[in-house]
Structure 1
Amino acid sequence: MSNNNNTPATGSRGRFVLLLAFGAFALGLDAYVMAGLLPQVADDVHASESSAGQMVTVFTLCYAVAAPVFAALLAGRSAKAVLACALTVFTLGNALTALATGLPLLLVARALAGIGAGLYSPMAAATAAGLAGQERRGRSLALIMGGMSIGTIVGVPLGVLLAEHTGWRGTLWLITGLGLLALVGMTTLPTATAAAPPALRERVRILADGRVGGIAVVSLLGGIASLGLYTYLAPFLTDAAHTTWTVGPMWAWGAGGVLGSLLIGRIVDRTHRPFAIVACILALLTAAHLALPVAAGSWALAVPLVVWGAAGWALQVPQQHQLIAAEPDQAPVVVALNSSAVYLGSAIGSALGGTIMAAGLAPASLPYCTAALALLALVLHLTVVRRPGRGQATAAQEEAPGPSAPVSR
């Protein structure tokens, strides 16, 4: 992204970045609150929970796959125009979700919201980086990612609480209102031109590298295991813990997410061993999922929930470090590919979870399936990712600091 000549003052830049972070907060809330509302939504639209869970699938699938296509179509437009377009589609999608009376319209509405969210997120990060300048770029990117994580970790339980008093549609109207506020805020942004995104064949070329592809597959499996199970947390609790109370478990998962998000960056910076850290995180994720059915129904359930949340949110930071070390000249591209892999994994996870539940698997057994996927990710990490690329020393790559990149959850 390139700035125009009318560069805003430092104080204005900070205000603009906060506006961008506010939009990211709305995205984070919207992306995950539907998992907590799943039983209410399914009952209201007269669908099974496994069928209604596909609304998470279409949202994350459109986020991962369709959004880059729309980003390419809008290349060369001002960042202000792209952000406004993204928030318009996002807000429209949420308004339609609140109005949906049947599953088909609900799925279309979630697809629109996913396209808007996927278009907004990377453009907001690029705009924040351009506004901040080199000396404050990392902090600005962290604010954007922080807005999304706060929306997920804090906003989701509050959204579920609101739904208990106003119905699930009330929560969706709240998100629609947040989207409108963010859209109004975008009108105050300075005009800047968005850089053209890389061609699809360039993305394919980078993915063809064994090491990059391996890391992306590990992120994909991590998304399937962690975010896929989160979609069906409410049915799991009903079946395994015999409770419909989801707010407490969501707070526990969110508390782990806060810890993971806050601590992982410092751990990676101090140790410079992202490969080993990813291995530890995947091992913890596997153990946490295996412990969920065992601890269900007692206070001890909070422990695997916290560990699961921390591991799920912490995984992508060392993954990004490894990708940047593998392709230092294509850092923005590989980080974007990794983000798409995570959200594609979430879409696949929610789809698979709904499919196997519809086939007769008890929700209480879902964590065993996701634990197997996390274990597979660990095996691939220790084998495929460990292998160095052509003419590259793997250990040196991993320990070399890379260029500044967005901090993922």
Structure 2
Amino acid sequence: MWSRIALLAVGTLAIGTDGFIVAGVLQDIGRRLDVSVAAAGQLVTVFAVVYAISSPVLASLTANLPRRRLLLFALSVFIVGNAMAALAESYAMLMAGRVVAAIASAAYTPCASVSAAILAGPTHRGRALSVVMGGITVATIVGVPVGTWLGEAGGFRAAFWLVTGLGVAALIGLALQLPELPAPPTVTLGERVRSLRLPQVPGTLIVTTLAMTAGFTVYTYIGPLLAETMHAEGRTLSLVLCAFGIAGTIGNGLSGWLADRWGANRTVATSLIVVTGILAVFPSVATTLPGALFGVAVWNGAGWLLLPAQQHRLLSATPQVGQILVSLNASALYLGIGVAGLLGGWVIQLWPARALGPVAALVAALALVVHLLNARKVRRSAAVREQG
């Protein structure tokens, strides 16, 4: 059972690496395809927005398909998309490859989570889900830094060939090891949309979007930012991204513990307060390698406190449609990443890359305000229900 779940996690490792790797090869893409860094950053935006839109739609359209067939087909399309990116001789072809890969990723990830839950059964469901989603976290520690290093040595094509290879490994493993699985109960797109009207849901999803916009406004363009503040090159950037991933993994692990002891609302607020502060000063801190490592550790360690706590809030509020809301939260996450690519590109066109930090901090502060207002609204609604 666990070996099959681990193979599902290899797929999410490939997808996580694919989603984040552009940040490490942004400047090489610009040089080789003769586009601006801001234009190269839109590859992140397109991937994220296509994922955000595709995820709930594909989850509804493919609800009755056999899980094994869907997983293998999604990985096959993912491999094709990344091979297109690796072979791209033009910006348009690279963009097309990103769109194909994003659609495949949006089909694979929710299906992998459901499949892991079926394989594990109720007793080990939470652990199985954490293993599958852990593939994305591991991508920030291993996949993205290695891809950045490969990109420095062989250009962005080498980085996308790495992602393609990970997809092939997952496809072969699952084709050989994954049994047929029953399809889950059908959840229509209409039911997903109606779930947005439930109490506290809209505010929670807005906070997720704003928080991801804040963090990824800096992360997407961290290469140009560190090149400006400390003249960082490929190896230094790989080291900083590795520290970023390790801190995020620690934060992800702490989030559940804190949510159980502090409550999800306080955990989210703590995350946003720390992230707002560190992003505001990050360009000033990241003028040396120790400063950059410290900055990304605080930033992503606090940042990853947010997402598990947000899922905790959604599942606690409306457990009957928890799977739907977690899917929508993932869409909100990728929507925020997409907006970050646009916002960051706009910032570096108008100002020096150092401005990314303060602009991102303002977005994080807005997320904090929305969170506090939303939590206050929920408390008032609960009080009214108790009095009634």
Instruction: Identify the TM-score tier after normalising by the shorter chain.
Output: over 0.9
The alignment partner of 2:365 has SS state of: helix
User: 2:229 corresponds to which residue?
Assistant: 240
User: 1:182 corresponds to which residue?
Assistant: 170
Map 1:6-405 to 2 at 5 A: 13-187=1-175, 188-244=177-233, 245-269=236-260, 271-298=261-288, 299-358=290-349, 360-388=350-378, 392-393=382-383
The alignment partner of 1:47 has SS state of: coil
Give, in whole Å, the separation in 2 of the partners of 1:197 and 1:283: 39
Give, in whole Å, the separation in 2 of the partners of 1:196 and 1:94: 32
Give, in whole Å, the separation in 1 of the partners of 2:356 and 2:322: 35
Q: Deviations over 1:86-138 (max 9, x none)?
A: 10111111000001111111111101111111111110010000010111111
Give, in whole Å, the separation in 2 of the partners of 1:166 and 1:395: 61
Residue 391 of structure 1 deviates from its aligned partner by 5.5
Alpha-carbon RMSD: 1.9
Give, in whole Å, the separation in 2 of the partners of 1:340 and 1:43: 31
Q: Deviations over 1:189-228 (max 9, x none)?
A: 1112322553233222221235110010000001101123
Which one has the bigger helix percentage? 2
Name structure 2 gaps, 5 residues minimum. Answer: none
Give, in whole Å, the separation in 1 of the partners of 2:147 and 2:184: 36
Inter-CA distance 395–50: structure 2 relative to 1 (3 Å threshold)? farther
Q: Deviations over 1:329-382 (max 9, x none)?
A: 111111111111011100111122112323x22211011111000000001111
Give, in whole Å, the separation in 1 of the partners of 2:381 and 2:44: 41
Decide whether the 8 Å contact of 2:116 with 2:129 is kept in 1: yes
Decide whether the 8 Å contact of 1:90 with 1:179 is kept in 2: yes
Residue 140 of structure 1 deviates from its aligned partner by 0.7
Give, in whole Å, the separation in 1 of the partners of 2:160 and 2:77: 15
Residue 267 of structure 1 deviates from its aligned partner by 2.1
Decide whether the 8 Å contact of 1:215 with 1:319 is kept in 2: yes
Give, in whole Å, the separation in 2 of the partners of 1:47 and 1:304: 30
Give, in whole Å, the separation in 1 of the partners of 2:220 and 2:113: 26
Q: Which amino acid aligns with 2:250?
A: L
With 79-88 and 385-394 compared, the bigger mean Cα shift is at 385-394
Residue 177 of structure 1 deviates from its aligned partner by 1.4
The alignment partner of 2:35 has SS state of: coil
Inter-CA distance 355–197: structure 2 relative to 1 (3 Å threshold)? farther
Instruction: Count the aligned residue pairs.
Output: 382
Decide whether the 8 Å contact of 2:141 with 2:243 is kept in 1: no
The alignment partner of 2:184 has SS state of: coil
Decide whether the 8 Å contact of 1:39 with 1:49 is kept in 2: yes
Inter-CA distance 212–249: structure 2 relative to 1 (3 Å threshold)? same
Residue 56 of structure 1 deviates from its aligned partner by 0.7
Q: TM-score with structure 2 length normalisation?
A: 0.94
Percent of aligned positions that are identical: 37
Residue 175 of structure 1 deviates from its aligned partner by 1.2
Decide whether the 8 Å contact of 1:228 with 1:345 is kept in 2: no
Name structure 1 gaps, 5 residues minimum. Answer: 1-12, 397-409
